[in-house]
A and B are shown apart, each in its own frame.
Chain A
């Protein structure tokens, strides 16, 4: 499975955009990039995923570089409730081997 590298922690001011980077230089052609977040003691929550193109939903935007070796999750207007650990994950091939491996993620702290 492709590995990901994320900074252990980041800070963001409330109301500003939060840009969380992720490196996945060994990603293969059929692997998706997924982002999840986990608010303290809760189960992780799906945010967004993409393959090649940039994606946007009601929670966030995902920007994937053209070579697919890195991506950025953007929370356009961070709120205090966005304080959480954010996980960037690369999904493997599917079929009987479809599983996601979580790293340690980035702790995003949104400050008032």
Chain B
């Protein structure tokens, strides 16, 4: 997707290891988000950021931490990966409510914890 990239696109990791997913934007948008998507649950918000160093929890934040040290990067860290964190992770960016084009989503990171 234009202006937003996620890395890596795919990752397999072992239970108990730390994992960091990166979301990078070139749009200078204020808001950034991490969602996970699992069968039967749809998209669920993990954490979001409303500015540099300003972050807050979403509905499924346990086991995850985030950091945003600059506008363009939003990192999601799984401190100690578990099999329940096997999922597809989507990053999204937004200028703000009511502004054109709403959220723009990245292409996703497929994470498998074995």
- List A residues at the B interface (Cβ < 8 Å): 32, 34, 36, 41-46, 49, 51, 87, 91-105
Q: Which residues of B contact A43 (CB under 8 A)?
A: 1, 90, 92, 105-108
Complex alpha-carbon distance, A97 and B56, angstroms: 9
Instruction: Tell me how far the C-beta of A5 lies from the nearest C-beta in chain B, rounded to whole angstroms.
Output: 14
Residues in chain B near residue A87, CB distance under 8 A: 42-43
Query: How far does the Cβ of A31 sit from chain B's closest Cβ, in whole Å?
Result: 8
B58, B92, B98, B104: the one within 8 Å of A51 (CB)? B98
Tell me which residues across on chain B come within 8 A of A102, comparing CB atoms: 35, 42-45
In this complex, how many residues of chain B approach chain A with their Cβ under 8 Å: the count is: 29
Residues of B within 8 A of A49 (CB): 98, 102
4 closest cross-chain pairs (CB), A and B? A43-B105, A102-B43, A94-B97, A46-B102
Q: In the complex, what distance in Å separates the CA atom of A36 from the CA atom of B104?
A: 10
Contact B58 A99 (CB under 8 A): yes
Identify the interface centre among B33, B90, B94, B97: most chain A CB within 10 Å of its CB.
B97
Determine whether the beta carbon of A98 is less than 8 Å from that of B90. Answer: no
B113 to chain A, nearest CB (A): 19
Interchain CB contact under 8 A, A105 and B42: yes
Query: Bound state CA distance, A91 and B97, in angstroms?
Result: 7
* Chain A residues, CB < 8 A from B107: 42-43
Residues of A close to B101: CB separation below 8 A: 46
